[in-house]
Structure 1
Amino acid sequence: MIGLPAAGDGVVHAVFVALGIAAGIAVFAWEVRRRGLHDDRLWIIAGTCLAFGAIGSRVGTWWQQVDPSANDTLAQWWMDGNRSVLAGLVGAWIGVHVGKLITRYSPSTGDLFAPAVALAIGIGRIGCLLTELPGHPTGGDWGIILTPEHAAALGGPAGVGLHPTYLYEALFQIAAFAVLWRMRDRMRRPGELFVAYVAAYALFRFLVEFARANSTRNRNRA
Structure 2
Amino acid sequence: MDFPVTFQIFGKTVLAHPVFETLGIFLGMRFYFYLKRKSTEKLSFNTSAAVLIGATAGALMGSKLIGNLENPYVLFENFNFKRFWTNNTIVGGLAFGLIGVELAKKIAGHKESTGDLIVYPLILAIIIGRIGCFLTGIHEETYGLPTTSIFGMHLGDEYLRHPVALYEIGFMIVLWICLKIVEKKRKYPSGFIFQLFMLSYFTFRFFLDFIKPKIEIAGNLGAIQLVCLLVIIYYIYKIKNTNKIKL
Measured against the shorter chain, the TM-score band is 0.7 to 0.9
Change (3 A) 1:183 1:210: same
2:115 corresponds to which residue?
110
Please say if 1:135 is aligned against 2:150. Answer: no
Q: Secondary structure at the match of 1:36?
A: coil
Identical-pair percentage: 29
Please say if 1:29 is aligned against 2:28. Answer: no
**CA separation in 2, counterparts of 1:19 and 1:101?**
32
1:38 corresponds to which residue?
42
For the aligned residue pairs, the C-alpha RMSD in angstroms reads 3.1
1:188 corresponds to which residue?
188
Alignment of 1:124-203 (within 5 A): 124-133=129-138, 134-140=143-149, 142-146=151-155, 150-151=156-157, 158=158, 160-184=159-183, 186-203=186-203
Change (3 A) 1:164 1:30: same
Q: Secondary structure at the match of 1:72?
A: coil
Structure 2: stretches of 5+ with no match in the other structure? 7-12, 216-223, 225-247
- The one-letter code sitting in structure 2 at the alignment partner of 1:33 is R
Q: Secondary structure at the match of 1:139?
A: coil
Residue deviations 1:75-99, cap 9 Å, x none? 354335x322211111211221233
Q: How many residues align?
A: 202
Change (3 A) 1:47 1:179: farther
1:72 corresponds to which residue?
79
**CA separation in 2, counterparts of 1:182 and 1:22?**
27
Shift of 1:32: 2.2
Moved more, 114-123 or 181-190: 181-190
Bigger helix share: 2
Structure 1: stretches of 5+ with no match in the other structure? 152-157, 216-221
**CA separation in 2, counterparts of 1:26 and 1:192?**
23
- The one-letter code sitting in structure 2 at the alignment partner of 1:99 is A
1:154 corresponds to which residue?
none
